[in-house]
Amino acid sequence: MKKILSMLVLISMVSFFTACSDDEVTQPTEVEPGSMTVNDQMISQNTIIVESITFEQDGWIVVHADNNGSAVVPDIISEPVLVKAGTKTDVMIPLTPDANMLDGATQVWIMLHTDDGVSGAYEFDGTNGLDSPLANLEGEVIVKPIKVSPATITVSDQVVTNSVTVTVNAATDGWIVIHNDMGDGSIILPGIIGKAEVKKGANNNVVVMLDDDVTITRGQKLFPMLHIDMAPLGEYNFPGVDSPEVFGFDMEGKSKIILKTINTL
């Protein structure tokens, strides 16, 4: 009888320690502190769009310049954008005049940063230890290089009677408009002498009809300009919300308008 009791006690102890061991093995799954999905893109209004961002805690997303394939830190070339914890889509990051944009594709670096200093204030300077670049569970900074490029107008000098033909590659739905010259080769603003709607993407051989009261003389200049289309959609409103499309900045820090010149034949 004593042997049976001893065996039962031993079995109970083994079961107890086995259960404890199983509990100790079960560990909470580590969660990535952040992630993002962003790709090469044609940008509108000097603004990059990040398709998706996930933060475990509130953080920042910023854009750094490129220097021979590496991100330039601590300086940024965008407004710092605070993103609340969770997943956000189509997050817009406005670039600043510090962005030295080329006429063609320009490489930049999209990077996630913490918000561990004063809440809601971007404080990263590379030395103070605040709002540092966010690292994943492997200790790698969460950053991605992408190439940004401008919307384009392609047009040739042409014989013009009552229309102008242009090709547009647009970053967003908008308008291609034609400005006249003042007789000395300079552009007349803001008035236009013709317009046509364009859609996001390729718009080949768009025929822009000119106003009936416009007379074009051989050798004068015309100026096709691209505008965005804001609400109310499908209605040209400029001066107003349908601003000229831009890419990059001039020496004075002003956004550069996407504009071409036609010499009429």
The verdict on 137 and 165 lying in the same domain is: no
In DSSP terms, 138 is beta-bridged to none
Has residue 128 been placed in a domain?
yes
Same domain for 143 and 40: yes
Are residues 7 and 135 in contact, defined by beta-carbon separation less than 8 angstroms?
no
How far is the CA of 172 from the CAs of 47, 89, 154, in angstroms?
Answer: 12, 18, 16
Domains in the chain, number: 2
Q: Which two tokens stand for residue 131?
A: 């709002």
Quick one: which H or E segment has residue 259? none
DSSP state at residue 25: H
**Mean pLDDT, to the nearest integer, of 88-100?**
97
122 and 157 together in one domain = no
Which burial class, exposed, middle or buried, applies to 132 when counting CB atoms under 10 A from its CB (0-12, 13-18, 19+)?
middle
> In this structure, what CATH number is given to the domain that contains residue 100?
2.60.40
Within a domain: residue 227? yes
Question: CA dihedral defined by 135, 140, 142, 145, rounded to 10 degrees?
Answer: 160
* More confident: 96 or 13: 96
Span 41-50, average pLDDT? 98
Q: Residue 89: which residues within 8 A CB-CB, separation 6 or more?
A: 51, 52, 53
Residues 170 and 93 in one domain: no
Please indicate, yes or no, if residue 6 is contained in any of the structural domains: no
The stretch 36-58 carries a mean pLDDT of: 98
Does the residue 247 lie in any domain? yes
Same domain membership, residue 144 and residue 199: no
User: How confident is the prediction for the chain on average, in pLDDT?
Assistant: 91
Same domain (yes/no): 159, 134: no
Mean pLDDT of 93-107: 92
- Whole-model pTM? 0.86
Q: What SS3 string covers 180-213? A: CECCCCCECCCCCCEEEEECCEEEEEEEEEECCC
CA distances in angstroms from 29 to 22, 25, 26, 32, 137, listed in the order given: 16, 12, 9, 10, 12
CA dist 96 and 248 (Å) reads 9
pLDDT, tens only, 139-167: 999 999 999 999 999 999 999 999 999 99
**What is the rounded CA–CA span in Å between residue 256 and residue 249?**
5
- Tracing tokens 């990263």 back to the chain, one arrives at 124
Domain boundary among 96, 116, 149: 149
d(Cα 74, Cα 133) in Å, to the nearest integer? Answer: 10
| Residue 123 structural domain | 34-149
- Residue 30: its pLDDT value, please? 83
Among 149, 173, 207, the domain boundary falls at: 149
Which range among 2-6, 77-81, 112-116, 237-241 shows the weakest confidence by mean pLDDT? 2-6
Token pair belonging to 166: 């242009």
Q: What is the pLDDT of residue 19?
A: 46
Burial (CB < 10 A; 0-12, 13-18, 19+), residue 256, is: middle
Domain boundary among 149, 177, 197: 149
